[in-house]
Structure 1
Amino acid sequence: MAVLRYGYLRGTFGLPYGGYTIQEPHPIDVELDAANEHRQMFCVLGRFSAVTGWLDGNQHTITARQAAQATFTREIVAEVYTESSWIAQMLWGLGCLDVQLVIRIGRTWDRRPRDRSCQFFPVLKVIAPSEVVMDDIGALLRRAVPGQVLDAAREKDLVARTLSRAPSHGLPPYRRGSMSLPSPSPRPPPEYE
């Protein structure tokens, strides 16, 4: 059984596969930043069953920070790549194959049908809203169909969960009792009502 490795993905020359990982000392909240080339993609390497097992119960969030470039979206894309042939995938299923899960910031062309002439394409592809937790990504990967895009960015229950975790833009998260609002003014006299 292959050892599970995870970390920020580097050395891909702009491609969403290959490269090497810079592993964090412990599981972390993943903050993907389009302006920082060292934090644009996160990856998990290992057997598919081990990768989805690692995602299950993992409550760390995945956040996308967008650059000024118009091609980035505010969504997360999770793609599973493998070097195994389609025959091996059909015979043994994905569970026992070594895979590379790449989590990256979405691009405007991610919803287009895949180019069949391209040599490298993901086995599974999921689109999810930013602030999604890794546990949700694992569940979405199990629902995904090979060769098709699972667009979960507009699923109401998933969006509601992610919005409840996301702070308002530029504001700290709301804490009950932290607002210091002035006390209400006394009621006006009855003759003015």
Structure 2
Amino acid sequence: MSRRQGVILYGPPAAGKDTVTQALTGLDSRYGQFARLKVGSGKSDGYRMGSEAQLRELESAGDVVYANRRYGNTYVIDRPGVDAAFAAGVPVVHLGQIDGIRALVDGYPADWVVVLLWCPQEVTAARSEGRGDSDTAARLAAWTATREDLDAHPDTAWDLTLDTAAMSPGESARLIDQLLVQRAGAGAA
């Protein structure tokens, strides 16, 4: 039996994680964005909204693979959620912290393709403003934190590095899909 495959998209806000994920699902319906559990308020699209009590239950059961705080909320990658995402197809997990990548790769065995999506800070600003974000300043601070995270972890191995300011979401998705297909073929050999 072949090993389960998943995709991790890492990058600063507005680097194209949502857009590339949409392009992936357009290529193959097996791809689906992993909906992290979000404890807090604000945007609920793309998240499973949860409570502090639910987070405590997951923590007590040892089912939190990774959690981080940003924008005043807690974002959780939970084992039951990842199990469900793999049951549905090929999960695409969005992360903005290298510690999160390491926690997921080490804490949830699968064939993870780890992709760095990057764009310059001015592109993040323009995209954030263009989509009507009310917290562009916080997203630019997160861009800087992501740059610092990359600089602090120069040993991070990327399966692909894609400049989303220089290539289309469709082209990015095709390269990611191609890599997964190649890996699946190599695993079957």
TM-score range, shorter chain: under 0.3
Structure with greater proportional strand content: 1
Structure having the higher Rg: 1
Q: Which has the higher contact order (CA 8 A, sep 6+)?
A: 2
TM-score norm. by structure 1 comes to: 0.27
Structure with greater proportional helix content: 2
TM-score norm. by structure 2 comes to: 0.27
